[in-house]
Structure 1
């Protein structure tokens, strides 16, 4: 599945390509590192973009769940990020990231997701707190 169909973002601010798995509490997505990605530098894509990559994966999860109810993707908010460690500075051109998000909690628009990016022999993980307001 193309991730852009489930998120409220448009290029160049899209940081996930495909959704490879999704369930009631879990999503897995991929991103190929290309030179046309926003923030790409000569060395590659800075790993500080991991926060946005994870947030868009959570957004794709919410968009897929909404799609099941015939609801268009909504804008959500990243409230906080905990326990993120970046062991490397850049993701290299041509490499593919595997991104996972596991829902830990969700109630009345507030949620928490355990996220992980798999890249070569590195794993970057973080706990994201998010909010999706009800449409007025």
Structure 2
């Protein structure tokens, strides 16, 4: 079990952090856990989470992976981007309140330019979801976000 506070691993704040704990990680993968709690920003009226939130849960697990790697290397946690997902499949329509979910993300590709692909799984009692996430973590993401737009060579009237 990893004892680092999630707020130091994931560049989200408050209620936006959905996962509860990093169980383990290494150079290739991470395992996280969450218990579905009512009253969050994504919860339905019965307190459950719609299955599509699984993509965000997977993305936060990948962000925690990046945060753990940064901490181990003595680097600052950088902002990353979910570019998209392929083949999200879930066998349920929602995750009921009180359900404990375990999430596994396995790095299958990481390029020098910050592009990456992760194979992700969410499991719980009678629950299984899978997806492949495409992510981007640019070097010095703070500078990346503050770059000025390209200037136009045309004239304005």
TM over 0.5: yes
User: What residue number does 1:126 align with?
Assistant: 131
Structure (1 or 2) with the larger CA radius of gyration: 2
Deviation at residue 97 of structure 1 after TM alignment: 0.6
Task: Specify the alignment match of 1:113 in structure 2.
Answer: 118
> Number of residue pairs matched?
136
1:51 to 36, 50, 55: 55
Q: Distance in 2 between matches of 1:32 and 1:73?
A: 25
Deviations 1:72-112 (A, max 9, x none): 22111111101111221111111111000000010120100
TM-score of the superposition, structure 2-length normalised?
Answer: 0.82
- 1:59-74 aligned within 5 A: 59-74=63-78
Q: How does 1:17-56 map to 2 (within 5 A)?
A: 17-43=20-46, 44-56=48-60
Distance in structure 2 (CA, Å) of the matches to 1:122 and 1:89: 10
Point out where structure 1 has 5 or more consecutive residues left out of the alignment.
Answer: none
TM-score (norm 1): 0.94
Q: 1:79-90 alignment to 2 at 5 Å?
A: 79-90=83-94
Q: Of the two structures, which has the highest relative contact order with CA contacts closer than 8 Å and spacing of 6 or more?
A: 1
Gaps of 5+ in 2: 144-157
Question: 1:72 aligns to what SS in structure 2?
Answer: coil
**Cα RMSD (Å):** 1.2
Instruction: Give 4+ residue runs of structure 1 displaced > 6 Å after superposition.
Output: none
